[in-house]
Amino acid sequence: MWFKNLTLYRFNKPFTTDTESLESALSDFTFSPCTSQDVSKFGFSYALGKQGQALVHSAENRHLISVTKEEKILPSQVIKEALDEKVAEIEAAESRKVTKKEKDTIKDEITMTLLPRAFSRRSQTRALIMPELDMILVDSSSAAKAEELLALLRKALGSLPVIPVHFTTPIENTMTQWLKDGQAPQPFEMQDEAELKSESDEGGIVKFKQQVLQEDEVLAHIETGKQVHKLALHFGQSIACVLQSDASVKRIKFSEEFRANNDEVGTEDPLARLDADFALMGSELIALINGLKDVLGPLEQQV
């Protein structure tokens, strides 16, 4: 339930699809497991996991969705060894070189033969559709996985006018200034981790962990032209995270004290607890994003 990463996208037009319509649209693209001959399968799954029975979980006009991907694991070395062996047999038997087109065909045949015996790996990616922010928040550290979810959602809805979030002032400029000033604006607080990059092609990358960032050793890198591209922050007393220059937020951790706000709900009714956690998390993520917008400046109005 608790998001660990945020890849942010902004709607170009207001999102007006209601829960019932969204559920209906996603139902045509539900996940089904791989068959013996499938390399991968991808589709929408229950928003609340095994405890749920709906593809969309909504509260306060916030919509949680989830996709599941199953992939067959076929090590490339195994396929290569089988291909080399088969090619060698043909060339020895027929006294000729096997063409590239033939090799591609043989490789496909080997893959189909091995698929039924391959192990499967499943992964899930969740997203929050937030009409009040005009945003979609994808819980993924990978932009590729986030785009994969959005592509399926776009296919289900027919259109999805979203673009990645960018700020008018480059985030690396803002975070570098914070480091020079020795502090981030409230309600954010710098922690002891940062990554600095040189803007020149010949420049390098330097990473600091468990380091007082106000020390001369760190600031000297700024003097040589490096800028802060990753910075560990605390948001109030609720969230620890790493803000990146591409506007993504990684390694989100909600504090135990914050999560304890729902302890009175208990765990006897798992769905009730998940619903309460969803409401609590959604409200705090909105507060986090609004806080970022306050300190990072206006969004770039791309169309």
pLDDT of 114? 87
pLDDT of 71? 93
pLDDT of 165? 95
Contact predicate 280/239, CB 8 Å: no
Contact predicate 124/68, CB 8 Å: yes
How big is the chain, counted in residues?
303
Structure token pair of residue 274? 């998940």
Average pLDDT of each block of 10 consecutive residues along the chain (303 residues)?
Answer: 95 94 97 90 94 92 96 89 92 92 93 86 96 96 96 97 95 96 95 92 86 92 93 97 97 96 83 90 96 94 64
pLDDT of 37? 85
Identity of residue 249: V
- To the question of pTM greater than 0.75 for the whole model, the response is yes
**Rounded distance, CA 153 to CA 63, Å?**
13
3-state secondary structure of 201: coil
Structure token pair of residue 31? 């996940």
Phi, psi (deg, nearest 5) at residue 185: -65, 150
pLDDT of 253? 97
Place of tokens 């705090």: 284
**Rounded distance, CA 133 to CA 291, Å?**
12
